[in-house]
Amino acid sequence: MNTTINNVSSILLAIPYQLNIYLGSFLWIAGNIGCIGNMIVFRSRTYFQRAYAIYLFFEAISSFFYFDFLLLTRVLQRGFQISITTHYDILCKLRQFDSVWNHVVSLTLFTFATTDRILSLQYSDAFRKWTNRVELAYKLSLASVIFWLLFFGHRLFLYRTTNGKCIPRPGFYAIFDNYIEACVTAMCTPIVMIILGIILLRSIRGLITQKIVPINDNLSSMTVRRSIVQQIDSQLTVMLILQMTVALTTRIPYATFLIYSNITQNRTKSAYQIALENILSETVNLMSYTFFTSSFYISYITNNGFRRNLKNFFEKHRPKCVCI
């Protein structure tokens, strides 16, 4: 009986480490490939003259650092048990800051890119004049970086390494910081995605269903226009559904668990319950990375132009055979 309990306990205790090693490593590799792919496509001549591509390019850079600092240190520490941030205050502060800063910067840039597309679909000149403003895109990208730096900069001063753990200053600040993280970095992602998705889809539907009156021999051109818009609608619909699904299924559990942890942190728990909560904690934390990991693959699957630009890049840089 005791042997069985010990065996089960050993398995439960080992699962969090294995999750970080295998699932964490997979997300790290997939995320890096995705970020590099996004940077290649959105830096291309076709895309980089558009404001929304500038937002998405800088989002890819932000996500790249998100994976290669935050996720990588997580895999090394919680998977391979290599202490990095728990021994040095500076790394502790930087990691805790980066865990929220890079996330919200990436989400903000994605929001700007989607907003630019929404404005481009409006019929009012008052709205359309704000679309595809390249200079504004650079300014807003820089502004988002600075704003969130000021908003979450307190983590650079109020986190510290104590007894081998990187923790916030105890007391009110620790509770405040946890709830801010749950609300801003976890709940905001699905909420923003749903709102932007609804607005964008309604804008596209409005463009399609608007009555187009043919004048003279323009019927064929109007039909082509309708066909193109319908194709755009179809691609964006699939893309948004997939992104909203990823956001809802990963960020909401993450936020819920953070709130649950704050509520129950002072309760007495059995060793078995703690082991189960550790497994759940590692799972929801790792899965929270999939929103930014999946953006490249969703774009690749749903967007013909994205695939074409990526293919052109590799064909252009393919080593040429020198025949003798």
- pLDDT, tens digit (0-9, with 9 covering 90-100), for 248-270: 788 788 878 877 887 887 788 88
Q: How confident is the model at residue 147 (pLDDT cuts 50, 70, 90)?
A: very high
- Determine the Cα–Cα distance for residues 231 and 22; give it in Å rounded to an integer: 38
pLDDT at residue 29 greater than cutoff 90: yes
Report the percent of the chain where pLDDT is more than 70: 85
pLDDT at 7: 47
Q: Please name the helix (run of DSSP H) or strand (run of DSSP E) that holds residue 168, with its range, or none.
A: strand 165-168
Query: Contact, 208 vs 233, CB < 8 A?
Result: yes
Q: What is the DSSP string of 82-99?
A: --STTS-HHHHHHHHHHH
Query: Which range has the worst mean pLDDT, 43-52, 66-75, 315-324?
Result: 315-324
Query: Contact, 145 vs 63, CB < 8 A?
Result: no
pLDDT at residue 115 greater than cutoff 80: yes
- Determine the Cα–Cα distance for residues 256 and 288; give it in Å rounded to an integer: 12
Q: Which residues contact 187 (CB under 8 A, 6 or more apart)?
A: 251, 252, 255
- Could you give the angle at which helices 89-120 and 134-152 cross, rounded to 10 degrees? 140
pLDDT at 10: 82
Q: How confident is the model at residue 304 (pLDDT cuts 50, 70, 90)?
A: confident
- In the predicted model, what is the mean pLDDT of residues 134-138? 92
Query: Which range has the worst mean pLDDT, 57-66, 150-159, 235-244, 254-263?
Result: 235-244
- Determine the Cα–Cα distance for residues 53 and 238; give it in Å rounded to an integer: 19
- Look up residue 28 and give its two tokens: 């790290």
pLDDT at residue 149 greater than cutoff 90: yes
Q: Which residues contact 23 (CB under 8 A, 6 or more apart)?
A: 286
| Backbone angles phi and psi of 186, in degrees to 5 | -105, -55
pLDDT at 30: 96
| Backbone angles phi and psi of 270, in degrees to 5 | -75, 165
- In the predicted model, what is the mean pLDDT of residues 153-181? 88
pLDDT at 62: 94
Sign of CA dihedral 65, 288, 99, 105: positive
1/104: higher pLDDT: 104
Query: Contact, 292 vs 65, CB < 8 A?
Result: no
183-203 pLDDT tens trace? 787 777 778 877 887 887 787
Sign of CA dihedral 139, 142, 147, 150: negative
- Look up residue 295 and give its two tokens: 């953006």
pLDDT at 233: 47
Query: CA angle, 101 as apex, 43 and 160 as ends, to 5°?
Result: 140
Query: Contact, 240 vs 201, CB < 8 A?
Result: yes
- Look up residue 186 and give its two tokens: 């976890």
Read off the pTM.
Answer: 0.83
pLDDT at 18: 94
pLDDT at 247: 76
- Determine the Cα–Cα distance for residues 142 and 124; give it in Å rounded to an integer: 28
Task: Share the mean pLDDT of the chain.
Answer: 81
Instruction: Report CA Rg, the chain.
Output: 23
208/256: higher pLDDT: 256
Q: Hey, how many other C-beta atoms are within 10 angstroms of the C-beta on 57?
A: 23
216, amino acid identity: N
pLDDT at 237: 58
Pick from 248, 259, 303, 309: nearest CA to 281: 259
237/25: higher pLDDT: 25
pLDDT at 213: 46
244/228: higher pLDDT: 244
Strands (E), the chain: 159-162, 165-168
pLDDT at residue 300 greater than cutoff 70: yes
pLDDT at 5: 43
43-63 pLDDT tens trace? 888 777 888 889 989 999 999
Q: Which residues contact 137 (CB under 8 A, 6 or more apart)?
A: 51, 52, 54, 55, 112, 116
- In the predicted model, what is the mean pLDDT of residues 15-19? 92
